[in-house]
A = this chain, B = another copy of it.
């Protein structure tokens, strides 16, 4: 019994958590209860029951089927239900009159054929893509038609049946709509607004989290790629949110569809509020999120730039990232508060820090480039050729060049790197090669299948460059290039942000957001 009590209390706390997460859930449930109760009262009390009769049962069915989470969705369903019922009623009355006038023998045949046709046509129409949102309406047409025409056939006048049924459906619909709108309404528009704002923040969070991990993480080896690609990443909460953003297009669209049915309310005071613009902004944001997904892919790919190399660009990457994330958050806040602010200074900052990142990559691109260094090759040759010109002092020169070489390496690095001291630079270079060696073991596992046989095969055949440079170096270079990929993706993200800013501008114009005076 203790186990039971424990699991029961943990279950209770789960439910409590679930309610606390979104108060609207409880409100919605209570509202459904209320609406059903109100309709039932029409039967439970003697007076209304005597007026409406047993047909009032249909209003209960209507409430149960029509009551949706948001006001807009309820209106939408109500519209489907109402139009479907009316159309079905009209059709049924026409067909019933035709059947009646055609005599007793033909009547059931006409009714049967008409039912078959209605069933076929409505089912076909609801598969048509542009009519798919009205799927429920077609179902309503089908069963209302069948019910009216068959009750009419068996129980007399179809017009009376149709009318009675429409009355009670109308009563159910009115109760459902009134309860939904008047008692703590849950507006689809409000939900859509929140959803979009949340997406902005989750993209920003996820970007920062991903880049943060890329820079901080001293390659906490995660060899199980499969797991890491498919799994839940328990240590990356923002990533999960961002991924759900990617799949939110359907949700945004259905909310926007519902929101269009809603009257002006709350903060959305003017008619024809541009809800579809929200979907567009969501789409642009999703295209930014694709870049974050690609960044995440690089973060978890098996070929990694060595930690020290990443460290070299840490400052620039972090600056650009944090400014990009700030811009995204700022856009999210603007939408949240329904105001326009000038993003010029933020954009300026972002663009110049992206420029700095570009330049940093540019200047250090020899680090990213091959360790098969054309430079070394060339200086050897230079020495070679020089040796022919100045034979007597060859050994001297050679020595001097060597000295210069090693000295130069430091100086170029220190020029290129604006902040770190010379010693740090050399340290970085040293540990760069160090890490590389360590990394090799890891890299060797890639590509993981039958590679060695592939190489043997290749080498036997004498594949065109097989022996030209050691295989390891190719991997090293690819590893270093993964840093280039990472930064390119950040830059691409920033480029897409421009269009996100434009989309939000467009939204704020159409939705008449307040100008914020700075």
Q: With an 8 A cutoff between CB atoms, is A112 at the interface?
A: yes
Whether the pair B365, A43 counts as a contact (CB closer than 8 A) is no
Question: Does A153 touch B at the CB level, under 8 Å?
Answer: yes
Taken residue by residue from 294 to 330, chain A's Cβ proximity to chain B (1 for < 8 Å, 0 otherwise) reads as 1001100111000000000000000000000000000
Interchain residue pairs with CB less than 8 A apart (20): A25-B127, A32-B119, A32-B123, A44-B108, A64-B139, A229-B499, A290-B293, A301-B492, A303-B495, A348-B454, A351-B447, A355-B474, A358-B475, A362-B477, A365-B481, A366-B369, A374-B412, A378-B412, A382-B404, A478-B488
Which residue of chain B has its CB nearest to the CB of A381? B408
A36 touches B366 (CB 8 A): no
> How many chain-A residues does the 8 Å CB contact rule pick out?
153
A481 and B40 contact, CB distance less than 8 A: no
**For the complex, would chain A's binding face be called helix, strand, loop or mixed by DSSP majority?**
helix
Question: Is B151 a contact of A465 with CB atoms below 8 Å?
Answer: no
B351–A362 contact, CB under 8 A? Answer: no
Q: Are B294 and A489 in contact (CB under 8 A)?
A: yes
Complex: chain B residue closest to A473, CB-CB: B362
Contact residues in B for A450 (Cβ distance below 8 Å): 344, 347-348, 351
With known contacts A44-B111, A478-B491, A468–B359 Cβ distance under 8 A: yes
0/1 string, A448-459, CB within 8 A of B gives 1: 111101110110
The answer to whether A351 and B146 touch across the interface, beta carbons within 8 angstroms, is no
A447 to B226, CA, bound (A): 37
How far does the Cβ of A382 sit from chain B's closest Cβ, in whole Å? 6
Q: A30-B120, A302-B495, A365-B369 are in contact. List 19 more A-B contacts (CB 8 A).
A: A18-B128, A29-B119, A33-B118, A36-B146, A229-B287, A291-B297, A294-B294, A352-B455, A355-B471, A356-B463, A356-B465, A363-B372, A365-B477, A375-B378, A381-B404, A381-B411, A382-B382, A382-B404, A418-B468
Expressed in whole angstroms, the Cα–Cα distance for A408 and B377 within the complex equals 10
Is residue A273 contacting chain B, with contact meaning CB distance below 8 A? Answer: no
**A490 vs B474: C-alpha distance in the bound complex, in angstroms?**
15
Q: Is there an interface contact between A454 and B150, defined as CB atoms closer than 8 Å?
A: no
Of the residues B34, B363, B397, B474, contact of A359 by C-beta under 8 Å: B474
Assess whether A32 is in contact with B229, with CB atoms less than 8 Å apart.
Answer: no
Would B474 and A484 count as touching, CB distance under 8 A?
Answer: no
